[in-house]
Structure 1
């Protein structure tokens, strides 16, 4: 029996999109032994010299001019990537995309970023017949995700589904599945074993995440948390930002047995499991991972655009709060010290509430598409 081939395409504009692709890959293989998966950041694969330069420029824009990102997001909000743009992308980056599809012969293509979704949509207009599934990895529906050639949209919430429908996407093309996270985030291993593994203490704990790029940097918040290191444990995860890592490690203020500094950590699910509060940028993937753990989230300087939308969504559900000033941190430090049991009770209620998000639903929907395609082909 030939295995079904699933090609998952992403881009390196932030770590979350590719994490979603790998999470789907893992879930698909866990659900079915008859599925082969391949994850690719298409631009980096086809143009390894130019793509990193563009991603680096994007990263610098996010850190130095976040308002510009917000202006671009709002300007393009109701617009899809027009045919001229997709043609330009196709010629600059993806002239070999058709060859890749022909070589890999996928039974379905799944996109977790709008650019490869737009490019595959253009190929479908030019005759490629492979079914296209687009997974929107935020809690909003920006116009760049939308193309009539997409056969199925997998979205995070009913609100996102309604936004797509208002833009004339048929309801039959949209499934509410939640954003896919790695299956390990839905597991609850022994906290004691995790603490032993990372040499952590059993005490109220704050996890500060910089994301894969390590772009969160707020000395006021970090210094404030460090002041309470006799009463609370603080875990800093700085991602791939080696400069920030070395700076923090050399700062005497952070040399305390209850302060732990890490670079890039693969087992973020385990650190979330033993932490009580998460301080993070509100990227769609990180928010979804935090959701799966039921951990209260404090959002640090949301980038105007999709991060603001993500922050507002989780705040409206009572699952998060934006750090508008150091007073927000003071409130949560007080809770950790004096209302620790209540934080645990609230988290348990969160875990019971999020059971409706069905952690494997995205992968199940893709397998259903594979089965339907097998019947009709």
Structure 2
């Protein structure tokens, strides 16, 4: 089996999901490559889309919120006659050439754009390849009805009805969970992580992050927490790719404050922490849940992230507050009450036990072997055991 993962550079979450699947494929000695789907249209377009997405997300979040709401209410936005769909379809010939040259057996799409491109590829060319969509949010993305994938791996079994209502064949749904890297599903123990990061063995640690783009009121929240935190609490603030935020935060000379830009040490930082405050991106909260790290969320851009937040709150996997003052009060309350943190951690330990990446790779094997019925039987047995 040879696999091509098609990602999209609109936020780091899709690339993180691709990396998690690729890691598990490599661990199981399956040949796997990753490519930016939009680059098959043009490298320049891919860079423009990425830059625009980053600017809107960070500086005009209300526009993202409004745009997502509009796309949910106007299905024709992604229909095969729409400007967006035609633009995506323009990369079909280049994608076909790449797939044929690479002799791939399976295309895995971790973004709705790449799913639409792969669907158009199969409509036109009917290549001897299978296709999978991997959801990176706890909701059904707008335009799913326009895609035609062989299998849809979704974040949770409770989302199946939503996908079906949005035009996806229930027989093609597989409740895999959202894939995260093994460093999150098998994290280092807390004491070892704290030692590796040169943090005190005792005391509490609070981790704050606004996603890969450093979005949201990170600076305001950090300043409030520094004023009110317990004496034995240290703070780590991750600014992601937001250079301006990093420069401002890094100028603060405060005991017990660590400021980082984009870092690959997230699994270690999560393992060392007692509480995580973040925006509810699908990958960020899935990584924290896999680490069994209690979560407080700030609603920054709405849209799919608000759906993620609602899904997690409904299952007591996370909580949120409407502003930085309330977030600060709640964070301090949790950090000074070991019973609350223990309860939150135990809930995540009960509900996040299995690697979604392993489930996805198993599903990929069954799909390429033409055993979808076996996959359905496996899922039914697992769901019965979980109930």
TM above 0.5, yes or no, is: yes
Q: SS in structure 2 opposite 1:149? A: coil
Paired residue for 2:36? 41
Match of 1:180, SS state, is coil
Structure-1-length-normalised TM-score: 0.90
Alignment partner, residue 216 of structure 1 = 216
Per-residue Cα deviation, 1:79-136 (whole angstroms, up to 9, x for no partner): 2721133222232x55511211111121000000011110111111102322110111
**Preserved CA contact (<8 Å) 2:153 2:174:** yes
1:370 maps onto 2:368 in alignment = yes
* Aligned-partner Cα distance in 2 for 1:242–1:216: 14
- For residue 66 of structure 2, what is the aligned residue in structure 1? 71
Using the TM superposition, give the Cα deviation of residue 158 of structure 1 relative to its aligned residue in structure 2, in angstroms: 2.0
Between 122-131 and 49-58, the greater mean CA deviation after superposition? 49-58
In the alignment, which residue of structure 1 is the partner of 2:326? 327
CA contact (8 A) 2:139 2:304 kept: yes
Unaligned 5+ segments in structure 2 are 373-387
Structure-2 residue corresponding to 1:206: 206
Distance 1:322 1:215 in 2: 16
Greater alpha carbon shift after TM alignment, 261-270 vs 5-14: 261-270
Alignment-derived partner of residue 242 in structure 1:
243
Matching of residue 57 in structure 1 with residue 58 in structure 2? no
For the pair 1:12 / 2:9, whether they are aligned, the reply is: yes
In the alignment of these two chains, the number of paired residues is 364
Query: Contact 2:209/2:218 (CA < 8 Å) preserved in 1?
Result: no
After TM superposition, give the deviation of residue 46 of structure 1 in Å: 5.5
Provide TM-score, normalisation by structure 2.
0.88
Look up the match of 1:280: 278
- Output one character per residue of 1:170-202: Cα deviation in whole Å (capped at 9) or x when no partner: 221000110011112111323233223222223
1:189 matches 2:188 = yes
Between the aligned partners of 1:222 and 1:322, the Cα distance in structure 2 is 16
Whole-Å separation in 2 of the counterparts to 1:149 and 1:190:
42
Deviation at 1:153, TM superposition (A): 0.4
Counterparts in 2 of 1:229 and 1:256: CA distance versus 1, 3 Å: farther
Which residue matches 1:145? 144
Matched ranges for 1:338-357 at <5 A:
339-355=337-353
Structure 1 runs (4+) greater than 4 angstroms displaced: 356-359
